[in-house]
Chains A and B, each alone.
Chain A
Amino acid sequence: DAGVIQSPRHEVTEMGQEVTLRCKPISGHNSLFWYRQTMMRGLELLIYFNNNVPIDDSGMPEDRFSAKMPNASFSTLKIQPSEPRDSAVYFCASTPGGPITDTQYFGPGTRLTVL
């Protein structure tokens, strides 16, 4: 199995630009999570989907952030416009079944730098 795939692995952009992060969960997994990791705030859950439906987006920091999951094999996290404080590593994770007890499988992350 290829595992959770994220692209790009690294992104450097300038303040004000739109950034789109992509995630392909493990085939057959029903739940998908987006996390942000920074030194200051640690790991933060931004949003999670179950069966392609957003269940809880209360962790999304502000309206500049949006996430979609148009089908079971693809999700995007978009930041528009980006700001330097958005610089972080963004992880995507998926679980085989429900979001509560199942093991989360993490992707390698996208390291975002906003200049």
Chain B
Amino acid sequence: AQSVTQLGSHVSVSEGALVLLRCNYSSSVPPYLFWYVQYPNQGLQLLLKYTSAATLVKGINGFEAEFKKSETSFHLTKPSAHMSDAAEYFCAVRPPGKSTFGDGTTLTVKP
């Protein structure tokens, strides 16, 4: 069975600083990994996904994530935080069919 662990339920950074949101997974089969963002009172939107192609995945809004099999990690990064990045971020792992989501990390961006 697959599972996802997001380290840190809250992350706070200053505007312009590096954003690093951590995600570790466990999966008995090669995983497909996803990062989603949720803004208040909205549904989840896909930021990026890894489906066994390039290990460094670039997503929308300047985010990227690197799949590291040896570390079973898929951390999300952005070089320079913007105020509009404040939201909740979810890491998810699939297959098979089911989606398993992490508990989410709330990102706060300070001016």
Contact A4–B103 (Cβ < 8 Å): no
A100's partner among B44, B45, B90, B96 (CB-CB below 8 A) is B96
Interface of A is mostly: strand
Instruction: Kindly list chain B residues whose C-beta atoms are within 8 Å of the C-beta of A55.
Output: 97
Is A99 part of the contact surface with B, judged by Cβ < 8 Å?
yes
Instruction: Kindly list chain A residues whose C-beta atoms are within 8 Å of the C-beta of B111.
Output: none
Contact A104–B98 (Cβ < 8 Å): no
Instruction: Kindly list chain B residues whose C-beta atoms are within 8 Å of the C-beta of A35.
Output: 99
Is A18 part of the contact surface with B, judged by Cβ < 8 Å?
no
A103's partner among B49, B100, B102 (CB-CB below 8 A) is B49
Is A25 part of the contact surface with B, judged by Cβ < 8 Å?
no
- Take A42-B104, A43-B90, A103-B49 as given contacts and tell me if A56 and B98 are in contact as well, using a CB distance cutoff of 8 Å: yes
A42's partner among B45, B94, B95, B103 (CB-CB below 8 A) is B103
Contact B101–A101 (Cβ < 8 Å): no
Contact B102–A42 (Cβ < 8 Å): yes
Is B26 part of the contact surface with A, judged by Cβ < 8 Å?
no
Instruction: Kindly list chain B residues whose C-beta atoms are within 8 Å of the C-beta of A101.
Output: 32, 49, 51, 94-95
Contact B44–A91 (Cβ < 8 Å): yes
Write out, one digit per residue, whether chain B residues 42-53 have a CB within 8 A of any chain A CB (1) or not (0): 111110010100
B97's partner among A91, A99, A103, A107 (CB-CB below 8 A) is A99
Please report the C-alpha to C-alpha distance between residue A19 and residue B104 in the assembled complex, in whole angstroms.
Answer: 28
Contact B32–A100 (Cβ < 8 Å): yes
Q: Which 6 A-B pairs have the closest CB atoms?
A: A106-B43, A43-B101, A106-B44, A100-B95, A42-B103, A103-B46
